[in-house]
Structure formats: C-alpha cells, structure tokens
Amino acid sequence: MPATVVSFASGAVRGASSVVRIEEGDQGALVVVEATPFHPVDHTWPDQPGDSGTISSGTESVRVREAVMAAVSDDGVFAVGTDIPVKRGVEGWTWLVAHPIDGPAPSWLVEGAPVDLAVDEARRAGLSRGHTACHLASLALDLAVADLWRKDPGVDALGTPDFEGRANQTSRIHEDGAVDEYRLGKSLRRAGFDTESFAATLADRTEAINARLRDWVASAVSSEVLAEGPTIVDRRRWRCELAEGTAEILCGGTHTPSLSDFLSIEVALDLTDPQLLVMTTTASPAA
C-alpha cells in the first residue's frame, strides 16, 4: 500500500479516489483512500484540527468526523494518531490519511470502491485563516520583542530573534484564530530574554504587534503552501512575501491564498501568570 496522496496543500476541497482499506474500530470505521483532499490532524504537533466532510458514492454518503494520521507496517500493523510507534519516514512503515466515520462501514463502502470526497469548505476556510493568522502573529511577536534579547537565541523565518521557537509550548488553531502559550521561565531568562522588561511594557508590545499585523493585512500579499512531493509524508512549507522579507516556515497545515482574505488580524497578550504568556489571535475575514 503506497502513502496517501494529498491535495490540500493546493487548497483542494474535493476529489475522487478509490478505497484501499477499511479498518473497523470501537468508535466506528476508518476509511483509507488512495488520494484525498482532507487535511489530517498531526498527532505529533496537533495545532490544526483535521478536516471534516463527507465520503459518498452516488446517492449514498457518510460523514467524516475529523481526518487523522495513520500508518501501517510492512508486516501489517495498523496504528492511528498517538498510537503510531515510529517517527515519520521510518523504513518499514507507510503513512496514510484515515477518515473516521460513525459506526461500521456501510455495504457500499468497501475496498476497491470508487468514492467522492468533499471537505467542509466553510470550516476549512476558517481553519486556513486561523493558521495563516497564527504564523503572522508569531512573526510579529518576534519582531516586537527583538530588543529584549541579551544573547543570540537563533532566528525565525524573517531573521528576527526567535522568541517563538524558544518559548512556544502549545499552539491551538481554530476557525479564524489561535491560542498560543509561551513559557517565560528560568530557561528563557538563562537564554538571554529580559522577561521583566517584557512584562513592564506588555501594552506597548501588544500595540506594536497589532500595528505590524494591520500593515501586513493591508499589503494583501499572497500566501501559499509549497509541497516537496504529493504524499502525506512529504514536507510542506508555508511561504508569504512580507515587506520585511520572504517568510518560509515548515508547516503541515492549510493556509489562505492571500492576506486579502482578511479584514483584520489582532492579538491580545495575557500575562496573568508571570511565567506564562498567552497570545490569543483573532482574525476577521474579508467580506
């Protein structure tokens, strides 16, 4: 069984394929097809939820709850999500996109059957805006705190001191937004970041981020995903040509094709816990 071919990187939300495997489970069947437009949640960094939608054939259809990662070993072991025991790309394993449905597979949904796949377009669009906004917010955050480093922490995609890479501990994307958490503990201070000055100037930093985001949204530049190959195991990068430079970030998610898709992107910074920065990003879609 070859790795699943995916088309979500190009923005596809529909496709036709054939079923290659049905795996029955306690919570319903998992359907694997040769090629899919569905973006699966990444079990190793589950920032963006998987796509939902439908699999259909003629007048029959089933609902896909949320696409997930799966893998099968050369000796037939099938694993899903966090139960996958190996890292991506390990020899002897093939990587797949699985489509969970409620209940067992109906009689028409069998191995070899031709099917049509359709992603929930409104949800995908919202998640794509949320993911693009999340990346832009992190780049703007790095720029806004660049003067607070006393040591070199490495650089981000724009060549700015990489606060995001050093401090981010969780990122959760939702439709038209995201919530990111950054640890401001001893290790970050030892790395050279001035947490006290950051806390004292939080309001100014927030305004600097939002001013930068307003400029980027107004630029209406393109945003795209570049794939190194057609399968789910191939690496993908998000790229956006901003005034400060071309940003390229390794990313397995989906993105909006242009910043003209936004009316606005704004962040709020919460430092209620002095050792935990919470950045909430809110995107408003263009009419």
> Model confidence over 123-147: pLDDT tens digits?
999 999 999 999 999 999 999 999 9
d(CA 125, CA 129): 6
Mean pLDDT of the chain: 97
Mean pLDDT along residues 257-261: 98
Query: What is the reported pLDDT for 1?
Result: 82
> Model confidence over 56-84: pLDDT tens digits?
999 999 999 999 999 999 999 999 999 99
Query: What is the reported pLDDT for 102?
Result: 95
Mean pLDDT along residues 95-121: 97
285 pLDDT above the threshold of 90: yes
Mean pLDDT along residues 154-158: 98
What are the structural domains of the chain?
Answer: 5-119 (2.40.30.130), 123-285 (3.30.980.10)
| Residue % of the chain over a pLDDT of 70 | 100
Name residues whose C-beta falls within 8 Å of residue 199's C-beta, 6 or more positions apart in sequence: 271, 274
| Angle at the Cα of 20 from the Cα atoms of 14 and 21, rounded to 5 degrees | 110
d(CA 79, CA 71): 5
Query: What is the reported pLDDT for 177?
Result: 98
The CB density around residue 158, as the number of other CB atoms within 10 Å, is 19
**3-state SS record for the chain:** CCCCEECHHHCCCEEEEEEEEEEEECCEEEEEECEECCCCECCCCCCCCCCCEEEEECCEEEEECCCEEEEEECCCCEEEHHHCCCCCCCCCEEEEEEEEECCCCCCCCCCCCEEEEEECHHHHHHHHHHHHHHHHHHHHHHHHCHHHECCCCCECCCCCECHHHHHEEEEEEECCEEEEEEECCHHHHHCCECHHHHHHCHHHHHHHHHHHHHHHHHHCCEEEEEECCCECCCCEEEEEEECCEEEEEECCCCCCCEHHHEEEEEEEEEEEECCEEEEEEEEEECC
Confidence band, pLDDT 50/70/90 cuts, at residue 25: confident
Confidence band, pLDDT 50/70/90 cuts, at residue 109: very high
User: Could you tell me the CA-to-CA distances from 51 to 40, 99, 141, 243 in Å, in that order?
Assistant: 6, 9, 28, 32
Confidence band, pLDDT 50/70/90 cuts, at residue 88: confident
| Angle at the Cα of 139 from the Cα atoms of 221 and 241, rounded to 5 degrees | 25
283: tokens are 């995107």
Against a cut of 0.95, is the pTM above it?
A: yes
> Model confidence over 176-198: pLDDT tens digits?
999 999 999 999 999 999 999 99
207 pLDDT above the threshold of 90: yes
